[in-house]
Structure 1
């Protein structure tokens, strides 16, 4: 499986992108990541980027299987998982399949393992985003608190239409919004950090408190006051520092 790697350090992590992202979406934060401390792997979900021609399936179970396969291909017996948005839910699914191999889980503005609390109108609007660029832009704009330039949110939306197929985009929505493995995820004891954005209207701080923090036994939250749903773009160096400290807590800056 194709993947992008960064660094050659002892702390290993596989990164899982979000609905609008791809393997390159974490690149802005790498300017703050020490390659001698960390080894990171990034891969495209089926239907995205270098895997755009894949036949699927386009769901989080496939993402989890592929994440484990990537780590196997790199010879990683132990690894951490970092996931953004729907990638956070995929990180939980990965950990339920390989709990003894996963050292830490870092979930960035993530949806939870249960069904997303979307009413029928909102779910319908999200479904329309598979074919409608303006719906994609509206979702990105709203999830960052409506405070960032529309030029940027339009760019994120437009890029997503180029890096993923509409079929994959549509199918992943059904998986991250409707899959429910809450009971399995709640049994996880892996050390977990959930990174929330103060301006995130898509995955608000209170939602994270009501799900991740209540359901997991070994979890804490870091709140980024500068960020909405996309801290990789909104405050990449702050995100890099937060992730680095969690993945390598023994390091003294």
Structure 2
């Protein structure tokens, strides 16, 4: 693994994947066995403060993260790439599109945060803003966003991964970045091919939210709703996710 990212596959189509708030580059591992590594070159990167970039200084903003995504593309001599973002990573890849539209071949959001951010009521904000210092809050968030239907053993594993692979400060900073940043007017009307893949049990970033945001802003946007899935399709339905993802990527010009 090079500093900051892991490469899987050697295909001609480069795909850079950006993890979610409770993830890391390593959180994509359940998906990897199901990917077409002959057609695609997948690059799973860590944001600053995550994975092997823990302890690295940064401001932990969407703009900074987008700059880092482009730096990875440059390091791989990839002029145009497809971008995949899970949850918070979905906001990051849209920021890349806003900043460097000529570099983006296509965009896929997996339960992605819209470019308008996410509205919270007081109770929700207390839960999420307390998650940096409180593992119990992280567990409650994972349980909530998957429909309160999955085994506690898995919930605990997601929380443990998050604690082991992210800095507390970075985790806190990124919440403000993805929840409170609105740049949707910068991407509105962009003709890039877009697909959003969501779970039927995701209460906040599900189909309704995508119809109110992504499909309103991107004229070439498709929505796929995965059955028996919440916010963490990478873990919950990896085969279905790989199928949906690559059926789209194969059609990208």
Query: Which TM-score band (shorter chain)?
Result: over 0.9
User: Displacement, 1:192?
Assistant: 0.1
Deviation string, structure 1 residues 23-48 (Cα, Å, up to 9, x no partner): 01111111111211110111111011
2:166 corresponds to: 164
In 1, distance between residues paired with 2:54 and 2:141? Answer: 22
1:119 corresponds to: 121
3-state DSSP of counterpart to 2:102: coil
Structure 1 position 189 matched with structure 2 position 195: no
Contact residue 67 and residue 96 of structure 2 kept, 8 A: yes
User: Paired residues, what number?
Assistant: 250
Deviation string, structure 1 residues 42-97 (Cα, Å, up to 9, x no partner): 11110111000111111211111110000000000111000000100111001111
Mapping of residues 3-152 of structure 1, within 5 Å:
3-152=5-154
User: Displacement, 1:151?
Assistant: 1.3
In 2, distance between residues paired with 1:127 and 1:226? Answer: 28
In 1, distance between residues paired with 2:8 and 2:221? Answer: 27
Structure 1: segments with no counterpart, 5+ residues: none
In 2, distance between residues paired with 1:57 and 1:120? Answer: 25
Contact residue 200 and residue 227 of structure 2 kept, 8 A: yes
In 1, distance between residues paired with 2:174 and 2:204? Answer: 17
Where do 4+ consecutive residues of structure 1 move more than 3 Å? none
User: Displacement, 1:226?
Assistant: 2.0
User: Displacement, 1:107?
Assistant: 0.4
3-state DSSP of counterpart to 1:34: coil
3-state DSSP of counterpart to 1:189: coil
User: Displacement, 1:231?
Assistant: 0.4
Contact residue 24 and residue 46 of structure 2 kept, 8 A: yes
Structure 1 position 173 matched with structure 2 position 175: yes
Deviation string, structure 1 residues 149-171 (Cα, Å, up to 9, x no partner): 01111210122111111100000
In 2, distance between residues paired with 1:178 and 1:245? Answer: 33
2:223 corresponds to: 221
TM-score scaled to structure 2, two decimals?
0.96
User: Displacement, 1:227?
Assistant: 0.9
Mapping of residues 228-243 of structure 1, within 5 Å:
228-243=230-245
In 2, distance between residues paired with 1:7 and 1:115? Answer: 33
TM-score scaled to structure 1, two decimals?
0.96
Contact residue 89 and residue 112 of structure 1 kept, 8 A: yes
